[in-house]
Chain A
């Protein structure tokens, strides 16, 4: 028993070390963003908001932030719509070629982003849609729709299989049932999907960089700064991006959790 406890302590420390490794870059980036040194190290320099002042004064950053906002919200709406349609089709119907049908939506995230980026860039040039903000939106919705689909599909799994038929039985047409039963039931998952896809889109840089042309998003700006030099501005932008992403993820999780709470109560 004593050996067991020692082992538990060792394992606990090990898990903690893994978490330190995972979170160290995030936390250090935040610390560096408030540090006066250009090459931050230990001991840390003075507290400074210099880098924030710098990025706030940079019109490029503002434009990129606006672009990121537009791209991630549009992506979220399209991807969640596509994800919902597919999740519902999968839940409700059995049909021929369902396997390939599901592969169509689930495959993109398993292909390296650099390859998707090249393929999208070439294709958009070919069909005359490259270099626009909407090019990023389209590419991102292909990449993120599976996340929305997964979240909504899980929610549909929790639905009493008789619920839909019960609504028909009470005089609701299929369309009315969709509006008054399926969508209300999936609402938490739909919000969860919106925030999740927005968060993924907000951080994506490879595809954005390739297809964006002159319309840069925040991650693309970061990429370009990083390519040039060590510039602590990156930490400031990074912290800003991190906070937005985190807010989105936490919101997604809140909806996810609230729905689990509800399902355990019923």
Chain B
């Protein structure tokens, strides 16, 4: 039914196939490739001139502040990923194995909502809630604790990252675990596997692929977010996105921002690639 590929030109088929090719080549591949090219351009007197020089690369990569920022971003995004995966797991476990089908569907629908609400507004809301005299410290004050400084700390940054990533991670983990064949879990219990051992021996291996994909998405989101570290973390230690922001907005140094952006993309590619390789490695061996 599908392939009429033998015929020379099928106008009907091309009508549906070509729009996205044109559009994405001009407005997606174009920008990304141009950004790579731009990292070799020169800036003189606040004007960018097209060139092919490695000066931006050598300048950026030889600066200590770039590498400080780089490793800090990798570190904080890793911590964020670990936190999100661990915090989400019990909830996803409950939703996947203990909740009814309809509860699960409702929970997932509710967790989708935050994606379509302004992340900025939510971050600002945390800013107010977590401030020195904010809601959290007020509540803690009633039981004689605090006040604690939560803003402009790594904790603040992490709260922001969790706001961004937790709903997605819970959804992905829930869907992954809900798709596990329940009889396998029951079989393990039936064979005398204790509950915790069942999670470790049966559920985790079976949901490995989905969990790794959740972790990759979580890392990408945290790694690329400038709002949480900027507003809640106070950007004392600027992350790479903040570096891009500063370099682009204030310094007009687009080529250097491009260097940072490319370094970010390479890092993400490497991590996504390793993750996916890990996720599918054992499956292939088993086949």
Contacts and interface: CB of A to CB of B under 8 A. Distances in A.
> Do A and B touch (CB < 8 Å)?
yes
Given A93-B3, A234-B124, A118 B28 contact: no
Interface string B133-177: 111011100000000000000000000001100110010000000
Contacts of A203: 116-119
Contacts of B120: 205, 219, 222-223, 226, 238
B31 A112 contact: no
B51 interface: no
A166 B127 CA distance: 59
Contacts of A253: 109
A41 B135 contact: yes
Nearest to B5: A95
Interface residues of A, number: 85
B231 interface: yes
Given A28-B125, A122-B35, A126-B34, A22 B220 contact: no
Interface string B66-103: 00000000000000000000011011011100100000
B73 to A, nearest CB: 11
B32 A119 contact: yes
A93 B2 contact: yes
Contacts of B109: 253
Contacts of A18: 87-88, 91, 166, 170
Interface stretch (B17-25, B53-61, B201-209, B278-286): B17-25
A206 B134 CA distance: 27
A92 interface: yes
Nearest to A234: B124
A125 B259 CA distance: 18
Contacts of A248: 116
A172 interface: no
Interface of B is mostly: helix
Contacts of B46: none
Contacts of B117: 26, 203, 241-242, 245-246
A124 B30 CA distance: 10
B182 interface: no
B254 A241 contact: no
Interface residues of B, number: 86
A250 to B, nearest CB: 9
A105 interface: yes
Interface stretch (A45-53, A135-143, A185-193): A135-143
B124 A122 contact: no
Given A29-B124, A39-B133, A82 B23 contact: yes
A56 interface: no
A14 B88 CA distance: 10
A28 B38 CA distance: 43
A245 B30 contact: no
A222 B121 contact: yes
Contact of A114 (B27, B128, B245): B245
A253 to B, nearest CB: 7
Contacts of A206: 226
Interface string A21-33: 1111110110010
Interface of A is mostly: helix
B145 to A, nearest CB: 14
B7 to A, nearest CB: 12
Nearest to A126: B34
A18 B109 CA distance: 14
A39 B221 CA distance: 30
A122 B135 contact: no
B84 to A, nearest CB: 11
A199 B116 contact: yes
Contacts of A14: 90-91, 94
Given A118-B261, A141-B23, A142-B24, A15 B34 contact: no
B40 interface: no
Contacts of A114: 224-226, 241, 244-245, 261
A105 B241 contact: no
Contact of A139 (B27, B107, B245): B27
Contacts of B126: 25
The 7 closest A-B pairs by CB, nearest first: A112-B224, A238-B121, A25-B125, A123-B31, A11-B94, A119-B31, A25-B122
Interface of A: 8, 11-12, 14-15, 18-19, 21-26, 28-29, 32, 39-43, 81-82, 85-86, 88-89, 92-95, 101, 104-105, 107-108, 110-116, 118-124, 126-127, 138-139, 141-142, 145, 161, 164-165, 174-175, 196, 199-200, 203, 205-206, 210, 219, 222-223, 226, 230, 234-235, 237-238, 241-242, 245-246, 248-249, 253
15 contacts: A14-B91, A94-B5, A114-B241, A115-B265, A116-B31, A118-B248, A119-B261, A123-B27, A141-B23, A203-B116, A230-B127, A230-B128, A235-B125, A237-B121, A245-B118
Given A25-B123, A114-B226, A139-B27, 18 more contacts: A15-B91, A21-B163, A22-B111, A24-B129, A25-B125, A25-B163, A29-B124, A82-B23, A108-B24, A119-B31, A120-B31, A122-B38, A141-B27, A142-B24, A203-B117, A226-B127, A246-B116, A248-B116
